[in-house]
Amino acid sequence: MPEIEIRSALTTDLTSLAGIEHSSKTDYVWQLDRSFDTGQMAVSFREIRLPRTIRIEYPHTHEQIVEAWKKSAVILMAVLGNQPVGYASIQDQQTPGTAWITDLAVAEHNRREGIGSALLLSAQNWASQRRFRRMVLEMSSKNVAAVRLALKMGFEFSGYNDQYYANQDIALFFSRLMR
């Protein structure tokens, strides 16, 4: 099997990256439970199995992705056998001292091959070299594969926003301190 190459994307690569399928299928979602009582509030998420497999549409439109690329500090892309198979878009202006991964996508036929992990490790290395203190990943609560990847890579749940995406999906945020 050819080795995964991770490099900064060039302007000429963006058309290929835009063609990567961002949607996915799942049998699980993270369900939000909230309770409010006088003097306290409790919020929890739990992974639940769905009665059937569903297709998850990516919470950002193609136009939003392309617009976000203009604000990115870097777009790291994964190349396998001279073909782009994934990317991570990193912004550095949202929160001081924080590198923010707004989009992480892997071609559908290359998922579960370590490409997402390689992109995250490269993103952490990029952020560490620039002395960022924290890295944040954002994802839809329906994207259980991304949640599992974040946890596997040492990220911790750090918040949510139920009004974040235009499609009304709940955004989950996972972060980790940089070493």
CATH code at position 170: 3.40.630.30
- pLDDT at residue 2, rounded to an integer: 61
* Structural domains of the chain, count: 1
92 within a domain of the structure (yes/no)? yes
Q: Is residue 32 part of a domain?
A: no
pLDDT at 66: 81
Q: Is residue 106 within 8 Å of 20, Cβ to Cβ?
A: yes
Residue 37, domain member (yes or no):
no
What's the confidence (pLDDT) of residue 93?
79
Whether this model's pTM surpasses 0.85? yes
Mean pLDDT per 10-residue interval, the chain, length 179 residues: 84 88 90 88 90 90 82 93 93 87 92 94 95 94 92 94 86 91
In a domain, 99, yes or no: yes
CA dist., res. 94 & res. 138, Å (int): 12
Question: Coil, strand or helix: which one is 65?
Answer: helix
Residue 88's domain spans which residues? 5-23+58-177
Rounded Cα–Cα distance for residues 107 and 126 (Å): 22
Give Cβ neighbours of residue 73 (< 8 Å, ≥ 6 apart).
90, 91, 92, 93, 99
**The predicted structure's pLDDT at residue 115:** 94
